[in-house]
Structure formats: structure tokens, C-alpha cells
């Protein structure tokens, strides 16, 4: 006949399961944090591609053929700005000053190459996970 487990044994089994789950959760969090850090480093060091004009032409042509007057050209975490997306969320006129890394270089490309042609750019927070600015979307309009 099988022996009935004692409450202390059940408590130990439960605690062991909880500890194992906590270890797994911590490992996943570390992996996620590392992936986010790697993504931020890549974003900070990325340059505007030499074929940017070709890509922009293709995107705006496709949008215009659908009757659309703007296109999302860049999306990145608000945490990649120097104020967590605050100035973009508040539509402050100096929001470009919050850009860093590739976002800043993309805006500089716009200023140099696209604004003189009559294009406009706008940025907005496009997601709010848990009520906090999540991703920035930068749109090119004509």
C-alpha cells in the first residue's frame, strides 16, 4: 500500500516547484534584457543605408498608389530616446532633440535630403504597454 504524503512533504514539493519557476523566469528575464541591450546597441550604431533613397521611393510610391499621404518609415522603442518618449508624446516642437542613435541619424537624413523636396516628418508614440510610452513611430508625409 502506498504511503500518504505528509503536509510537510507537500509543502517542500510546492516550494521546490516555485523556486524552479522563479529560476526559469529569472533566466528568461536575463535573456530578454540582453536581447534588448543588443538591440539598443545595434540601433545606436546603425547608419542610414546607402540605398535609403531607393527604399523611400518604393515605400512612398506604394503608399501614394493606395491613396495614402504618409508612410511609417521607422519604429523603435521610446526608451531609445533621451527622455523615454516624453517630448514626442507631448508633441513638443523640439521633439527631434530627444532622438539618439539611428533615430537621430534618420531625422538628420530627412532634414538634409527630404525636407528640401517638400516632405514632412512627424513622430508619435504608437504603443502604450501598461500605460507607458512603448514604441515611437516616425512617419514621412507629402
Question: Is residue 30 domain-shared with residue 64, that is, in the same domain?
Answer: no
Q: Tell me the CA distances in angstroms from 92 to 54, 82, 89, one per residue in order.
A: 31, 14, 8
Q: Tell me whether residue 2 is in a domain.
A: no
Q: Tell me whether residue 56 is in a domain.
A: yes
Q: What is the pLDDT of residues 11-55, one digit of tens each?
A: 999 999 999 999 999 999 999 999 989 999 999 999 999 999 999
**Rounded (10°) angle between helices 7-45 and 101-109:** 30
Q: What is the pLDDT of residues 72-120, one digit of tens each?
A: 999 999 999 999 999 999 999 999 999 999 999 999 999 999 999 999 9
Question: Is residue 78 domain-shared with residue 132, that is, in the same domain?
Answer: yes
At residue 2, does pLDDT exceed 90?
Answer: no
Number of domains in the chain: 2
Question: Is residue 83 domain-shared with residue 135, that is, in the same domain?
Answer: yes
Question: Is residue 57 domain-shared with residue 125, that is, in the same domain?
Answer: yes
Question: Is residue 24 domain-shared with residue 85, that is, in the same domain?
Answer: no
Q: Say if CB 48 and CB 103 are below 8 A apart.
A: no
Domain that holds residue 132: 48-141
Q: What average pLDDT does the chain have?
A: 96
CA dihedral 60, 65, 68, 72 (to 10 degrees): -30
Question: Is residue 13 domain-shared with residue 57, that is, in the same domain?
Answer: no
Amino acid at each position: 500500500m502506498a504511503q500518504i504524503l505528509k503536509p510537510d512533504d507537500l509543502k517542500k514539493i510546492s516550494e521546490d516547484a516555485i523556486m524552479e519557476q522563479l529560476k526559469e523566469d529569472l533566466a528568461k528575464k536575463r535573456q530578454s534584457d540582453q536581447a534588448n541591450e543588443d538591440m539598443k546597441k545595434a540601433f545606436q550604431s546603425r547608419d542610414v543605408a546607402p540605398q535609403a533613397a531607393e527604399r523611400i521611393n518604393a515605400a512612398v510610391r506604394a503608399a501614394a498608389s493606395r491613396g495614402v499621404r504618409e508612410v511609417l518609415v521607422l519604429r523603435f522603442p521610446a526608451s531609445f530616446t533621451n527622455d523615454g518618449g516624453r517630448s514626442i508624446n507631448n508633441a513638443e516642437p523640439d521633439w527631434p532633440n530627444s532622438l539618439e542613435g539611428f533615430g537621430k541619424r534618420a531625422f538628420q537624413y530627412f532634414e538634409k535630403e527630404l525636407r528640401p523636396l517638400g516632405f514632412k516628418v512627424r513622430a508619435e508614440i504608437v504603443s502604450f504597454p501598461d500605460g507607458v510610452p512603448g514604441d515611437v513611430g516616425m512617419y514621412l508625409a507629402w
